């Protein structure tokens, strides 16, 4: 076993307080310096690489905020307590967080990040506050830690865990790329009507409308189309033929001829989750998990509640289902999600979205992704005590496009491989996270020898 030393947590870290530049001074805001708040890193990901807000050098100098270094740790200390991330670039931060930095020759930041991961629950248990739970600098006085004396051993342990986190990060980036491609196709077909507009322009200039639509759909030039394999060309041609060559006026503006309008609520069946009671929860992880917003965002975790009870089948969750969380902080909670985490039961404040075929599933999912900014604004305008809601009445009042069904099915055929690949990557992320979380306490405590992991 490696040699360990025992410390109070505050003895091995530098604790740095943040701040907020004055909001009424425009010269403090909109600059090049990322400025962190908990909304930027409450996603259980190791690294934080971007922020919603940015400040100027004047804002940094003219306020109590500080600039953290690449590799420093950020932890939320008020409200949503205990969220944790490591900075991938220098960032300033607000007063609801602490910046943490390992002391030289005692602990490295990469090891500190993983140490804090297993100490977060203890930190949260020692929080206090008249209204909200709060981590103070004194909180760190009451946390005892054992760490390897050898910095080299710390580096090796952190590297083992970082390898797993890096693979998770890579899979997550691949999923974001697949999602972006599917969203771009959705916007081109169902929002901007690019194939329809290409046909209209071609007709006006005496060109082949179908060929123009094929170029718009594929992103290829006419010369490139002519080099395509016959089967691929025929399939692209069949897709182009599904789009009309005329736009007509509607209450949404111009829409393709033959397409209709519908309310957002009528695009699918939206079923709200169940209101579970304390008596429904099991005392262990037996039974099925209760799927809340946290699980939709981060997957199953040590905080997930389970139940051995049986409920109406309409609340049953399965891999491949999609959901819309309609209540919570507008910027962080209102969103549409795909679920790949197995069977469970759906909690209230989340709609399960039932559709009659995969084409409709993909259409509604990417429609809600496109409408996310609109729905956030709608909820923000009527939020109370920090919470906002999208009601059934809101969804019924929001008009959206209704394409012909054969276009749903064609769209599904194109994006289905992305969806399936994302499912595989998500499952790999789940497995990697389980392995990491199993190894984490054992490596840091010395229960599992570093050599056993590296050699195995």
> Going by CATH, does the domain composed of 4-149 fall within 3.90.220.20?
yes
The domain limits of the chain are 4-149, 265-402
pLDDT in the model for residue 129: 58
Per-residue b/e over 85-120, b at no fewer than 16 CB within 10 Å? Answer: bbbeeebbbbebbbbbbbeeebbbbbbbbbbbbebe
Instruction: Output the pTM of the full model.
Output: 0.84
Measure the CA angle with vertex 156, ends 153 and 157; round to 5°: 85
Fold of 265-402: Adenine-n6-DNA-methyltransferase TaqI; Chain A, domain 2 (3.90.220)
The terminus-to-terminus CA distance of the chain in angstroms comes to: 17
- The tens place of each residue's pLDDT in the chain, 456 residues long, gives 469 999 999 999 999 999 999 999 999 999 999 999 998 998 888 999 999 999 999 999 999 999 999 999 999 998 888 999 999 999 999 999 999 999 999 999 999 999 999 999 898 888 765 456 789 999 999 899 999 999 999 999 999 999 999 999 999 999 999 999 999 999 999 999 999 999 999 999 999 999 999 999 999 998 999 999 999 999 999 999 999 999 999 999 999 999 999 999 999 999 999 999 988 998 888 899 999 998 998 888 777 899 999 999 999 999 999 999 999 888 778 999 999 989 999 999 999 999 999 899 999 999 999 999 999 999 988 877 778 899 999 999 999 999 999 998 999 999 999 989 998 999 899 899 989 999 999 999 989 888 766 655
Please tell me if the domain spanning 4-149 has the same topology as the one spanning 265-402. Answer: yes
pLDDT in the model for residue 454: 62
């Amino acid at each position: 076993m490696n040699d360990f030393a025992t410390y109070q947590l505050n003895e091995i870290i530098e604790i740095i307080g943040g701040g907020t530049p004055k909001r009424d001074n425009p010269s403090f805001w909109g600059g090049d310096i990322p400025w962190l708040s908990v909304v930027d890193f409450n996603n259980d990901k190791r690294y934080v690489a971007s922020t919603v807000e940015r400040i100027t050098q004047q804002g940094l100098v003219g306020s109590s905020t500080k600039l953290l270094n690449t590799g420093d740790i950020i932890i939320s200390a008020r409200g949503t307590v205990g969220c944790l991330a490591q900075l991938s670039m220098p960032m300033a931060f607000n007063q609801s967080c602490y910046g943490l930095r390992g002391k030289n020759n005692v602990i490295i930041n990469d090891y500190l990040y993983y140490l804090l991961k297993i100490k977060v629950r203890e930190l949260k248990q020692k929080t206090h506050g008249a209204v909200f739970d709060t981590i103070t600098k004194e909180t760190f006085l009451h946390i005892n830690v054992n760490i390897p004396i050898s910095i080299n051993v710390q580096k090796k342990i952190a590297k083992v865990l970082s390898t797993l986190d890096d693979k998770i990060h890579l899979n997550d980036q691949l999923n974001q790329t697949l999602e972006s491609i599917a969203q771009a196709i959705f916007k081109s077909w169902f929002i901007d009507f690019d194939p329809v507009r290409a046909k209209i322009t071609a007709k006006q200039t005496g060109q082949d409308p179908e060929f123009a639509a094929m170029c718009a759909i594929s992103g290829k030039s006419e010369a490139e189309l002519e080099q395509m394999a016959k089967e691929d060309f025929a399939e692209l041609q069949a897709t182009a033929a599904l789009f009309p060559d005329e736009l007509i006026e509607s209450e949404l503006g111009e829409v393709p001829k033959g397409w209709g309008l519908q309310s957002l609520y009528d695009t699918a069946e939206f079923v709200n989750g169940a209101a579970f009671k304390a008596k429904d929860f099991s005392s262990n992880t037996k039974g099925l998990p209760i799927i809340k917003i946290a699980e939709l965002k981060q997957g199953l975790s040590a905080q997930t509640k389970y139940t051995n009870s049986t409920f109406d089948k309409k609340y049953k969750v399965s891999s491949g289902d999609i959901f819309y969380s309609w209540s919570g902080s507008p910027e962080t909670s209102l969103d549409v999600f795909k679920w790949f985490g197995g069977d469970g039961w759906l909690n209230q404040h989340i709609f399960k979205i039932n559709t009659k075929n995969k084409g409709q599933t993909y259409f509604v999912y990417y429609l809600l992704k496109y409408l996310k900014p609109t729905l956030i604004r709608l909820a923000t305008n009527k939020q109370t005590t920090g919470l906002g809601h999208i009601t059934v009445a809101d969804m019924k009042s929001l008009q959206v496009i209704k394409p012909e069904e054969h276009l749903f099915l064609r769209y599904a055929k194109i994006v289905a491989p992305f969806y399936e690949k994302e499912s595989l990557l998500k499952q790999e992320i789940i497995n990697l996270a389980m392995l990491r979380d199993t190894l984490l306490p054992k490596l840091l405590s010395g229960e599992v020898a570093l050599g056993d992991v590296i050699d195995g």
